[in-house]
Amino acid sequence: MKLFDLGFEPEEVITHPRHQAAQVDLVPLIERVRACRSPQDGYELQQDLLRRILEVEDDRNAFSKAVKRMRDGKAPQVGAPEPQSGRDPLDIETWILERELCERVSRQFRSIGDALAWRAFNHDRRYILALCRNAPAGIMAGKAGLKAELETVENHWRDSGQFALMHDLTNCLRIGDITVWEDDGPHTYEIKTNSKYRNTVQERRIATAYEAVRTGSALPGDNPGERLHDIDAPLLTHMELLQIATQRASKDGIFAAKAPGSRALIAVDLHGVISQRWTPEEYGQRLARQWNAARRRARIGDQLDLNMHATSLDSVSRDPLRVPWGIYPLHPVAAARLIGDVMTFVVETSGPSLAADLTAQGIPAQWVRPPGTDDVAAGEVVMEMHSQADWHAPNGLTAKLTRTLQLRRSEMDRYLIELLDQDCWAAGIRHLLLSPNTSDRPWPVFRNEGDTWL
């Protein structure tokens, strides 16, 4: 977490009045996302979310200006928001803490925007995968084109009763400015203050994204091998284990267990930890004992430098590929605690054990990541899977089809953090290995995701 890297203690973050207020606000916002049934529901929720994010970002801009002034030996500007931490206002670290807390809280609210986007797209991951492929937008407050975007939202609502979602309220929608749900489905637009100046590059990326969803053609970007592939099987997960984990951790502080598919899971809830009245030493000992026991039960504790994990910690609205916690099938309070890092969970696997599981299912696999405890880099290959099969062409000829799939960090992260059922996951891999139409860099999409996410 960036705040910890800057030298601030977790207690300073979690107990900060702004952070605690956000925790209270998140629960009803999550409930409203889940209750959205009409364009009016989406429009009203977006207006509320917009107000909250702009308020936080206005404060963040002001704190950032104060930090710059103090670094130049000046006092904070007149009218700067008052720090809420209780720290010394003459210390620049006080203002840095306030600035970074605003960044955290704005991301937490954007995770609600991500949840609203998933719900508006009816949990169709293809649209998210296609429209996330740009750099993040940055701060809304003070944005030059904000007025034009707001007018577009209002015009669609006033004239047609259509819901128009502003992408800047999300992290997962990065191509285009607004998506409008019209009579024939969603349409994404680039909005300009002056209509004479079109952004043809972004318009092409929008068109490419929608063509990729419709036909399976290349996704936006430089690699034509990156394509969506529909897996003709429903998405299956072990969300019931995460439900148990969050419930138990909220009461007991720590919950650890073996998870199906050569995985172990641990959840920690700060409110539950506090209720146990453990000393820091007792907490550390219990955490290590329960986590190591879960690893042993999952048979992944023998060589930890060959293990790989995914964590919920400080993850909201950073990775556009992550499903937002707000639509996980969890109690709204548990979802809010995950968003705010009041509760965290980790899922871990052994690379060689996972490769052995796939091999036992008839998918020869090899863990290729060398031993080490460093975080996996974006795009890094961690496992390779192989296949060889006969393919019967329409002209009566038979060909040998051989293929190697490389598993990278994003797909491994999904297997872990979404607790995908291993048989379901293996079926998707088998489909990609055996299909003659699989591209060099496939993005698999299972069916019926709405049955998993709320």
Query: What whole-number distance in Å separates Cα of residue 398 and Cα of residue 392?
Result: 5
pTM of the predicted model as reported, rounded to 2 decimal places: 0.94
pLDDT at position 254? 98
Give the residue with greater pLDDT, 123 vs 400. Answer: 123
Query: What whole-number distance in Å separates Cα of residue 187 and Cα of residue 180?
Result: 5
| Residues in Cβ contact with 352 at an 8 Å cutoff, skipping those fewer than 6 apart | 303, 306, 367
* CA-derived radius of gyration, the chain: 24
- 447 band by pLDDT with thresholds 50, 70 and 90: very high
396 close to 367: Cβ distance less than 8 angstroms: no
pLDDT at 140 over 60: yes
76 close to 98: Cβ distance less than 8 angstroms: no
pLDDT at position 122? 96
For 219-239, b where at least 16 C-beta lie within 10 A, e where not — what string? bbeeeeebbbbebebebbbbb
- 4 band by pLDDT with thresholds 50, 70 and 90: low
Quickly count: other Cβ atoms within 10 Å of residue 412's Cβ.
22
Give the residue with greater pLDDT, 416 vs 391. Answer: 416
Hey, CA dihedral for 301, 305, 306, 312, is it positive or negative? Answer: positive
Question: For the segment 273-283, what is each residue's pLDDT rounded down to a tens digit?
Answer: 999 999 999 99
- 2 band by pLDDT with thresholds 50, 70 and 90: low
Q: Which of 390, 372, 396, 391 is nearest to 382 (CA)?
A: 372
Token readout for 143 is: 């944005």
pLDDT at position 5? 66
Token readout for 214 is: 């419709």
- 373 band by pLDDT with thresholds 50, 70 and 90: confident
Query: What whole-number distance in Å separates Cα of residue 343 and Cα of residue 130?
Result: 30
Question: For the segment 170-218, what is each residue's pLDDT rounded down to a tens digit?
Answer: 999 999 999 999 999 999 999 987 666 677 899 999 999 999 999 999 9
CA atoms within a 13 Å half-sphere pointing along the CA-CB vector of 146: 14
pLDDT at 427 over 70: yes
81 close to 99: Cβ distance less than 8 angstroms: no
Question: For the segment 345-367, what is each residue's pLDDT rounded down to a tens digit?
Answer: 999 999 999 999 999 999 999 99
Three-state SS for the chain is CHHHHCCCCHHHHHCCHHHHHHHHHHHHHHHHHHHCCCHHHHHHHHHHHHHHHHHHHHHHHHHHHHHHHHHCCCCCCCCCCCCCCCCCCCCHHHHHHHHHHHHHHHHHHHHHHHHHHHHHCCCCHHHHHHHCCCCCCCCCCCCCCHHHHHHHHHHHHHHHCCCEEEHHHCCCCCCCCEEEEECCEEEEECCCCCCCCCCHHHHHHHHHHHHHHHHCCECCCCCCCEEEEEEEEECCECHHHHHHHHHHHHHHCEEEEEECCCEEEEEEEHHHHHHHCCCHHHHHHHHHHHHHHHHHHHCCCCCHHHEEEEECCCCCCCCCCCCCHHHCCCCHHHHHHHHCCCEEEEEEEEHHHHHHHHHHCCCCEEECCCCCCCCCCCCCEEEEEEEEEEEECCCCCEEEEEEEEEEEHHHHHHHHHCCECHHHHHHHHHHHHHCCCCCCEEEEEEECHHHCCC
pLDDT at 1 over 60: no
Q: Which of 46-55, 286-295, 368-377 has the lowest mean pLDDT?
A: 368-377
| Amino acid letter, 416 | L
Question: For the segment 235-249, what is each residue's pLDDT rounded down to a tens digit?
Answer: 999 999 999 999 999
Query: What whole-number distance in Å separates Cα of residue 274 and Cα of residue 288?
Result: 17
| Averaged pLDDT for residues 71-86 | 95
49 close to 105: Cβ distance less than 8 angstroms: no
Question: For the segment 391-408, what is each residue's pLDDT rounded down to a tens digit?
Answer: 676 777 777 778 899 999
pLDDT at position 98? 96
pLDDT at position 454? 77
pLDDT at position 9? 83
Token readout for 407 is: 């598993």
Share the mean pLDDT of the chain.
94
Query: What whole-number distance in Å separates Cα of residue 66 and Cα of residue 78?
Result: 9
**Sheet containing 185-189: order of strands:** 164-166, 178-182, 185-189
Query: What whole-number distance in Å separates Cα of residue 434 and Cα of residue 389?
Result: 7
